[in-house]
Structure 1
Amino acid sequence: MIWQSFDYPGDTFLPGMKFGKDLVTGLERFMTSWKSPDDPSLGVYSNIVNINGYPQTLGRQSQVLQARLGPWNGLGFSGFPIEKENNIYSIEFVMNDIEIYYTHVLKSSVVQRVVLTWDGKTLFLQ
């Protein structure tokens, strides 16, 4: 099997990456922070998709829950204010017998990325 960087996002989530779980192989795609701004080894923060019950995005510090966006309701995450539609990207949610994941789809040539910082902040950058 060939290692693919999109299967292991580290601290950066780019358009086209899957954020969730492959139910066939068990591969989980999640974000992990750096240890510090200049040390890329694993930090203590992670953003994951919890597939128990309705799939939802969780932010954790080690194993301690820090944030919960709630499940996707078709327009946005139920625990997060619904974003108005923008011309840069859209979020898609896929749930079937093979996988459960979120992804960002670009609508323009502006690059959108999500970064989990070493101190636990999730940033949406353009």
Structure 2
Amino acid sequence: MIWQSFDYPGDTFLPGMKFGKDLVTGLQRSLTSWKSPDDPSVGVYSDIYDTNGYPQNLRLKGQVLLGRLGPWNGLGFSGFPLDKENQIYSTEFVVNEKEIYHKYALTSSVVQRIVLTWDGIM
């Protein structure tokens, strides 16, 4: 098997990258913060998808739950405003028998990425 960087995102979520869980292999694609601004070793913060029941995004500090977006209701996450159409990016959320994931695509030439910083800020 070939290692693919998009399967192990570290602290950065890029356009086209899947963020979620492969239900066949068990691979969890999640974000993990750096230890400090200048130390890229694994930090204490992570963002994961909980796939037990309705999928929901969780923010953790170690094993401690800091927050969640609420479960996916088919249109959006119940605790997060619905994404409005915009000229910069589009989002997609997929739930099927093989995987559960969220990803985004750029619709303009603006370079954009999402980073989970060392201090837990997205």
Normalization by structure 1: what TM-score?
Answer: 0.91
Residue 67 (structure 1) shift: 1.0
- Specify the code of the residue in structure 2 equivalent to 1:116: L
**1:17 corresponds to 2:17:** yes
Aligned to 2:97: 97
Question: 1:50, 1:56 within 8 Å by CA — same for their partners in 2?
Answer: yes
Instruction: Report the Cα distance in structure 2 between the residues aligned to 1:88 and 1:75, rounded to whole angstroms.
Output: 20
Unaligned runs of 5+ in 2: none
4+ residue runs over 6 A deviation = none
- Specify the code of the residue in structure 2 equivalent to 1:77: F
Aligned to 1:49: 49
Deviation sequence 1:38-78 (CA, Å, 0-9, x none): 00000000000000111010000001000101123344321
Question: 1:89, 1:112 within 8 Å by CA — same for their partners in 2?
Answer: no
Instruction: Report the Cα distance in structure 2 between the residues aligned to 1:112 and 1:77, rounded to whole angstroms.
Output: 22
Question: 1:11, 1:115 within 8 Å by CA — same for their partners in 2?
Answer: yes
Residue 106 (structure 1) shift: 1.5
Taking only the aligned residue pairs, the percentage that are identical comes to 75
Residue 95 (structure 1) shift: 0.9
| Residues paired across the two proteins, number | 122
Aligned to 1:8: 8
Aligned to 1:76: 76
**1:30 corresponds to 2:30:** yes
Name the SS for the 1:121 alignment partner.
coil
Aligned residues: CA RMSD: 1.2
Unaligned runs of 5+ in 1: none
Normalization by structure 2: what TM-score?
Answer: 0.94
